[in-house]
Chains A and B, each alone.
Chain A
């Protein structure tokens, strides 16, 4: 029987590139003097929960002041649709700005799921 190809052996843990980018952003957050945090849980007004990949907390107040989401970008350099939806949802309900970092920036691309 032929071996079944597994698209992402890490499953929910995210691919290797995603993880490396998470580490890179986290290191940058700490370098700038914030307390770094991974996978911070937030709840939207709809009741749904979301995890933000990396946050930067103010050292004095421990309030998250930076929010970073890591994912795939499209040919146009935008987050793919599923990422855009999450970012827009959080920004809309929480009045915060989320910085998006693509881990496929050098390679370029993924179809964004829109029909032009």
Chain B
């Protein structure tokens, strides 16, 4: 499908800067999992009352955002492939010392049914947003993390203790085994 993405390690202060960019540019933040089909914007990417996974869009294209009802889970989710939205994921920490990788991601065209390009206004917003991320956050270009954005604040966090590390792809086989076990006994 080849969506466009930036994989990153951002600290809370970095995300507040992203929040500010979103506010200044009239963009909206939408939670992924909701009890209703309506679009109810959040004030911040750091909103703790919403479920994991947030999307960024524009009020002017909000009526083009498609939601799907997941009957087994009793909630609505956003159809990222067919909606003018950017996924923003900022996972937390593993065992408090390993910072997980986040990303922004979107597709320029809808997927399936002829791959129609997404709304022009949305594509311009997404392009500007990606350019701003690259320009605003200086990448310290950490060895072993080539191609991934490691901000100066993240590097400072990392260097504050020898116990700390950055997860290159958030894969933790032990945690996977535990989750699979939970699923089996549920």
Beyond A10-B115, A13-B2, whether A42 also contacts B169 by CB under 8 A is yes
**Do B170 and A39 touch across chains, with their CB atoms under 8 A apart?**
no
Question: Could you list 11 A-B pairs, sorted by A, with CB under 8 Å?
Answer: A22-B111, A23-B81, A31-B72, A37-B89, A38-B80, A59-B51, A62-B91, A62-B92, A63-B94, A63-B170, A63-B175
Interface residues on A, range: 35 or more
Q: Which secondary structure dominates where chain A touches chain B? A: mixed
By the criterion CB–CB under 8 Å, are A33 and B72 in contact?
A: yes
Give the interface of A toward B (CB within 8 A): 10, 12-14, 16, 19-20, 22-23, 27, 30-33, 35-43, 47, 49, 57-59, 61-65, 94-96
Q: Which parts of B1-54 form the interface with A (CB within 8 Å)?
A: 1-3, 5, 7, 32, 51-53
Name the residue in B1, B2, B68, B70 with the highest tally of chain A Cβ atoms < 10 Å from its Cβ: B1
CA distance A30 to B180 in the complex (A): 15
Question: Among the interface residues B52, B73, B103, B176, which one has the most CB atoms of the partner chain A within 10 A?
Answer: B176
Contacts of B168 in A (CB 8 A): 42-43
Residues of B close to A14: CB separation below 8 A: 1-2
Flag whether B179 is at the interface (Cβ < 8 A). Answer: yes
Residues in A whose Cβ lies below 8 Å from that of B147: 49
Are A63 and B173 interface neighbours, CB within 8 A? no
Chain A residues in 8 Å Cβ range of B92: 61-62
Do residues A39 and B2 form an inter-chain contact, with CB atoms below 8 A?
yes
Contact indicator B1/A30 (Cβ below 8 Å): no
Give Cα distance in the complex from A12 to B52, angstroms.
30
Residues of B with C-beta under 8 A to A94: 169, 171, 173
> Which residues of A are found within 8 Å of B179, using beta-carbon distances?
58, 61, 63, 65
Asked if residues B5 and A12 are in contact (CB atoms below 8 Å), the reply is no
> Which residue on B lies nearest to A31, using beta carbons?
B72
9 A-B pairs with least C-beta separation: A42-B169, A62-B91, A95-B173, A65-B179, A12-B2, A65-B176, A19-B111, A63-B175, A58-B179
